[in-house]
Structure 1
Amino acid sequence: MSSRDETAAALARAATAFDGALLGMGLALCATSSWFKYLSTSNALRRIRLAPSAPISDLRSVIDAGDGSSTGETGGERLVVIRGQVQPCSAADSITGLFSGGKAVGALVSQGSGERAVIIKQTQTCLYNEWRGVLGWSFDLHALFAKAWKEQRTTSFRSVPFVLVEGSHRFNSGYVNVKLDGSTHPLPLTTVYHHLHPVQATPYTLFQAILGNGYPVALLDEEKILPVGKEITAVGICSTKNESLEIKPCEDMPCFLSEKTRDKIESDLAVTATTLFWSGIFMGTVSVGILGYAIYRNWWRLKDWRERRKRERELRNEVLESPTRSASDDDSGEVSDGELCVICLMRRRRSAFVPCGHLVCCPPCALAVERNACPNCPVCRQSIRSSIRIYGS
Structure 2
Amino acid sequence: MSLHDRALTAVLTQLAMAADGAFIGVGVAYVAFSCFRKYAATSSALRKISQSASVQPSDLRSILSDSDDSRPSSSRRDDGDASSLNFDCGKLVFVSGSVEVKSALDKANWKSLRGTDLVVSHESGEKGVILQRIQTCIYNEWRGLFRWTADLGSMLMPRRITKENASSSMNMVPFILVEEGKWPPSDHVVVNMEGSTHPLPLTTVYQHLQPVKASSYTVFQALVGLEYPVGLLYEEKILPLGKDITAVGICNLKNGIPEIKSCEDLPYFLSILTKDQMIADLSFKSKVLLWSGLILGTVAIGVLGYSISRNWSKWKEWKARRAQQQQNASRIENLDETEEEESGDVPDGELCVVCLMRRRRSAFVPCGHLVCCHRCAFSVEREVSPKCPVCRQPIRNSVRIYDS
Do both share a fold (TM > 0.5)?
A: yes
The 1:285/1:55 distance shift into structure 2, 3 A limit, reads same
Question: Quick check: 3-12 or 72-81, which moved more?
Answer: 3-12
Instruction: Give 3-state SS (helix, strand or coil) of 1:239's partner.
Output: strand
Structure 2 residue 41 is matched with structure 1 residue 51: no
Cross-structure match for 1:372: none
- The CA distance in 2 between the partners of 1:124 and 1:332, in whole Å, is 98
What are the superposed Cα offsets for residues 222-243 of structure 1, whole Å, 9 maximum, x if unpaired? Answer: 1111111111111111010012
Cross-structure match for 1:246: 259
Q: One-letter code of the match for 2:134? A: T
CA RMSD of aligned residues (A): 3.9
Offset, 1:64: 2.0
Structure 2 residue 287 is matched with structure 1 residue 274: yes
Do the aligned partners of 1:87 and 1:228 also contact (CA within 8 Å) in 2?
yes
Cross-structure match for 2:385: 377
Offset, 1:80: 0.7
- The CA distance in 2 between the partners of 1:286 and 1:330, in whole Å, is 64
- The CA distance in 1 between the partners of 2:94 and 2:344, in whole Å, is 97
- The CA distance in 2 between the partners of 1:60 and 1:352, in whole Å, is 103
- The CA distance in 1 between the partners of 2:175 and 2:345, in whole Å, is 104
The 1:102/1:261 distance shift into structure 2, 3 A limit, reads farther
- The CA distance in 1 between the partners of 2:400 and 2:336, in whole Å, is 13
What are the superposed Cα offsets for residues 120-163 of structure 1, whole Å, 9 maximum, x if unpaired? Answer: 111233557889xxxxxxxxxxxxxxxxxxx9823221111110
Q: One-letter code of the match for 2:316? A: K
Do the aligned partners of 2:204 and 2:236 also contact (CA within 8 Å) in 1?
yes
Out of 129, 132, 135, which is 1:121 matched to? 132
Do the aligned partners of 1:48 and 1:266 also contact (CA within 8 Å) in 2?
yes
Offset, 1:192: 1.3
Unaligned runs of at least 5 residues, structure 1: 132-150, 370-375, 381-385
- The CA distance in 2 between the partners of 1:17 and 1:388, in whole Å, is 38
Do the aligned partners of 1:89 and 1:98 also contact (CA within 8 Å) in 2?
no
Do the aligned partners of 1:89 and 1:105 also contact (CA within 8 Å) in 2?
no
Offset, 1:49: 1.0
The 1:118/1:362 distance shift into structure 2, 3 A limit, reads farther
The 1:216/1:289 distance shift into structure 2, 3 A limit, reads closer
Cross-structure match for 1:15: 16
Offset, 1:93: 5.3
The residue correspondences of 1:162-311 to structure 2 (distance < 5 A) are 162-198=175-211, 218-311=231-324
The 1:364/1:12 distance shift into structure 2, 3 A limit, reads farther
- The CA distance in 2 between the partners of 1:112 and 1:367, in whole Å, is 91
Do the aligned partners of 1:196 and 1:220 also contact (CA within 8 Å) in 2?
yes
Instruction: Give 3-state SS (helix, strand or coil) of 1:253's partner.
Output: coil
Cross-structure match for 2:400: 391
Identity of aligned residues (%): 40
Question: Quick check: 184-193 or 12-21, which moved more?
Answer: 12-21
Unaligned runs of at least 5 residues, structure 2: 80-84, 143-163, 389-394
The 1:76/1:300 distance shift into structure 2, 3 A limit, reads closer
The 1:295/1:130 distance shift into structure 2, 3 A limit, reads closer
Q: One-letter code of the match for 1:47? A: K
Instruction: Give 3-state SS (helix, strand or coil) of 1:220's partner.
Output: strand
Do the aligned partners of 1:340 and 1:349 also contact (CA within 8 Å) in 2?
no
Do the aligned partners of 1:192 and 1:225 also contact (CA within 8 Å) in 2?
yes
- The CA distance in 1 between the partners of 2:363 and 2:9, in whole Å, is 47
Instruction: Give 3-state SS (helix, strand or coil) of 2:50's partner.
Output: helix
Cross-structure match for 2:151: none
- The CA distance in 2 between the partners of 1:184 and 1:65, in whole Å, is 30
Do the aligned partners of 1:339 and 1:349 also contact (CA within 8 Å) in 2?
no
Offset, 1:338: 8.3
Instruction: Give 3-state SS (helix, strand or coil) of 2:36's partner.
Output: helix
Cross-structure match for 1:147: none
Offset, 1:17: 1.9
Instruction: Give 3-state SS (helix, strand or coil) of 2:400's partner.
Output: coil
- The CA distance in 1 between the partners of 2:38 and 2:317, in whole Å, is 43
What are the superposed Cα offsets for residues 176-219 of structure 1, whole Å, 9 maximum, x if unpaired? Answer: 110111111111111111112345x6xxx868669979987643
Offset, 1:262: 0.8
The 1:77/1:224 distance shift into structure 2, 3 A limit, reads same
Give TM-score scaled by structure 1 length: 0.75
Do the aligned partners of 1:55 and 1:82 also contact (CA within 8 Å) in 2?
yes
- The CA distance in 1 between the partners of 2:234 and 2:244, in whole Å, is 26
Cross-structure match for 1:143: none
Report how many residues are paired: 349
- The CA distance in 2 between the partners of 1:308 and 1:155, in whole Å, is 64
The residue correspondences of 1:49-128 to structure 2 (distance < 5 A) are 49-66=50-67, 67=71, 69-70=77-78, 73-74=86-87, 77-90=90-103, 97=108, 99-101=110-112, 103-127=114-138
- The CA distance in 1 between the partners of 2:344 and 2:378, in whole Å, is 14
What are the superposed Cα offsets for residues 48-88 of structure 1, whole Å, 9 maximum, x if unpaired? Answer: 11111111111111122235533664356101111111111
- The CA distance in 1 between the partners of 2:182 and 2:108, in whole Å, is 15
Do the aligned partners of 1:351 and 1:366 also contact (CA within 8 Å) in 2?
no
Offset, 1:11: 3.4
Q: One-letter code of the match for 2:132? A: K
- The CA distance in 2 between the partners of 1:178 and 1:351, in whole Å, is 98
The 1:103/1:5 distance shift into structure 2, 3 A limit, reads closer
The 1:335/1:258 distance shift into structure 2, 3 A limit, reads farther
The 1:86/1:323 distance shift into structure 2, 3 A limit, reads same
The 1:260/1:379 distance shift into structure 2, 3 A limit, reads farther
Cross-structure match for 1:340: 354
